[in-house]
Every structure is written in structure tokens, then in C-alpha cells.
Amino acid sequence: MNASLPDTSKNPGSFQKRKLPTIKGFILSNVNFLVALKLKTSLYYTIGHTVNYFNKYLPFLSKKFYCPCCESILPYFIHLSNYKGISWHSACPSCDSRSRHRGLTQLIPHLKKLLPIQPKIIHFAPETVLFNSISSLNSNSYQTSDFFLKDVDFSGENLESLSFKNASFDLAICNHILEHLKKDGQAISELSRILTNSGILILTVPGDFTQKKTIEHKNTDSNGHYRHYGKAIIKKLEEHFYKIDSIDLHYFNNLNKQIIAIKKNDFVFICYKSKQKYNLL
């Protein structure tokens, strides 16, 4: 739930570790929450990190977790929190991957059978933790783009108005970006435009997909989100894509009989530009 540490696409082996706060930092943060009367935030922060400390310093009492992004076996994943609650077993302490990253790492290799032998790939706001799984599809034509980051192949690209030519890529990957954009419909249109006729978009957004309605905010919330998505996003995607598959990444949670902490209702939307065979899983 807390903001991710900065990513870079040019040094994929340099995973960002997530450290627990020192006791002094823990106390100071709690004092700041209380002074600001953020009582729920303080409560969730206290509970989450108390359990984190317990897991870290008493690892023999903890379960064994596996992170497919960095291939680490760990005694715990870090619980993160904000004013809404606690995200249990959220961040890998070794590479800072989250539930969606660990799920996508399991899903992405399945795309190989749907893509050309040497697909052209574009990854927006690239997450280092996904580099290995994506580059396994085609390491020679895996390119990255970001509006802010300089350490990418295409810097300064606005997803609402991309500079790429029509049909430039076979696969586009876009994770947790649309909620930060005022014109998400325009961004979806642009993502469709830059894909080939048989192209595929892999999309994730935050939301509650047990609900139909997308909740729009007049102003961005504390996470910089303009909206909290519901199932209605599928209809919006269908305006620009032939077919949408929605897959709960929790499907991959226990396939290898290892605990990789992929949350339930953590959905990925696989958007197909045109009619084709859809036997992904």
C-alpha cells in the first residue's frame, strides 16, 4: 500500500530491498500520525509493523515464503499499511515485489504461445521485478517507457498521447497507471492504437472487482488515484479491444505448493486486439 521504491529498467539485477523501520523511526512515525490525528493509520501501522518485527526476529516461528521475482525463500513478506487497513504479506523484503508482480511473473511465460516468435514488447512504468519474466519472451526487443524516469528507452511519454506509430508493438504491459490519469479512456485508446492487429495488452489497476461500479474521485486521493476501479472497466476496455480475459492472479498462488502470497481478487486484464485463439492457461 505504501509507494514503491524507485525502479530502473537498465539494471535489472539491482532489486530494491524494502527495510523495516528502525524502532526510533517506528516511534517517530507513530507520533506524527497521532499529532495529525490519523488514528486509524497509527493503529494499522502499529499492528502491521509489530507483526513484521515478530517475523523478522523470530523467523523459526514463521512460514516459508517464496518470491518468484527474485527467486528467494524467505521467512516472511512485509505487511504494509495505510489509513484504509493492512495489506498482509505484501512486500518481498528482498526485491520489494507485490502480489500482482508475483502473480504476473507466473502468468507472463504463458503468453509465449500467443505471441510471435520475436515479439516487440513495450513496458510502461517498468517494474524491475518483472524484467526477467518479460525478457524471457524476447530479450532483444523488450523496450521500456515512462513519463518521469530517464533510465528507460522512451522517456517523457504521456500515455494519453503516445508518440509511437500505429501497430508498433505486439505486447504492451501497463500496471497500476490508469488510475493516475484523468483521461483513462484516452490512454486505453492509445494502448490499442500502438498494438499490431494481433497485439495483446496486459493491464492491472487497483480496485474492487467484486463490485461493478468504478468510483470516480473529484480530486486525487492520498495515493494520487483519480478512481477506484470495479468490473465496469471491462466495458471500457471492450470499446477498444476485441476480447477481454480477466484472470484472478490468485490462481497461481499455490501451483508449486509454495507460499507466494498472491491475494484473492488481484485481477489482470488480458486485452486482445483481434480474434485469435485464447487458450492462455
State whether 108 and 88 are in the same domain.
Answer: no
pLDDT tier at 11 (50, 70, 90 boundaries)? low
Residue-wise pLDDT tens digits, 111-169 = 999 999 999 999 999 999 999 999 999 878 999 999 998 889 999 999 999 999 999 99
- Whether 12 maps to a domain, the answer reads no
Residue 250 · residue 264 · CB < 8 Å: yes
What's the domain count of the chain? 2
As a whole number of angstroms, the distance between CA 106 and CA 276 comes to 22
pLDDT tier at 180 (50, 70, 90 boundaries)? very high
Residue 149 · residue 177 · CB < 8 Å: no
Domain termination site, one of 95, 114, 144: 95
State whether 254 and 116 are in the same domain.
Answer: yes
State whether 164 and 263 are in the same domain.
Answer: yes
State yes or no: pLDDT of 1 exceeds 50. Answer: no
State whether 180 and 241 are in the same domain.
Answer: yes
Q: What would the 3-class secondary structure string for the chain be?
A: CCCCCCCCCCCCCCCCCCCCCCHHHHHHHHHHHHHCCCHHHHHHHHHHHHHHHHHHHCHHHCCCEEECCCCEEECCCEEEEECCEEEEEEECCCCCCCHHHHHHHHHHHHHHHHCCCCCCEEEECCCHHHHHHHHCCCHHHEEEEECCCCCCCEECCECCECCCCCCCEEEEEEECCHHHCCCHHHHHHHHHHCEEEEEEEEEECCECCCCCCCEECCCCCCCCCCEEECCHHHHHHHCCCCEEEEEEHHHHCCCCCCECCCCCCCEEEEEECCCCCCCCC
Domain termination site, one of 49, 79, 95: 95
State whether 251 and 224 are in the same domain.
Answer: yes
State whether 88 and 192 are in the same domain.
Answer: no
What is the predicted pLDDT for the residue at 251?
92
What is the predicted pLDDT for the residue at 42?
95
State whether 167 and 77 are in the same domain.
Answer: no
Cell 481478487 belongs to 265
State whether 77 and 153 are in the same domain.
Answer: no
Cell of 56: 523478522
Stretch 31-60: mean pLDDT: 92
Helices 23-35 and 39-57 pack at an angle, to 10 degrees, of: 170
What is the predicted pLDDT for the residue at 2?
34
Phi, psi (degrees; rounded to nearest 5) at 270: -105, 115
Q: What CATH code is carried by the domain that includes residue 209? A: 3.40.50.150
Amino acid at 235: K
Residue-wise pLDDT tens digits, 46-86 = 999 999 999 988 877 777 899 999 999 999 999 999 888 99
- Whether 226 maps to a domain, the answer reads yes
State yes or no: pLDDT of 264 exceeds 50. Answer: yes
State whether 239 and 183 are in the same domain.
Answer: yes
- Whether 104 maps to a domain, the answer reads yes
pTM check: above 0.85: yes
Residue 146 · residue 6 · CB < 8 Å: no
State whether 153 and 253 are in the same domain.
Answer: yes
- Whether 162 maps to a domain, the answer reads yes
State whether 50 and 166 are in the same domain.
Answer: no
What is the predicted pLDDT for the residue at 3?
37
Percent of the chain past pLDDT 70, that is, above it, reads 94
State whether 239 and 117 are in the same domain.
Answer: yes
Structural domain of 79: 23-95
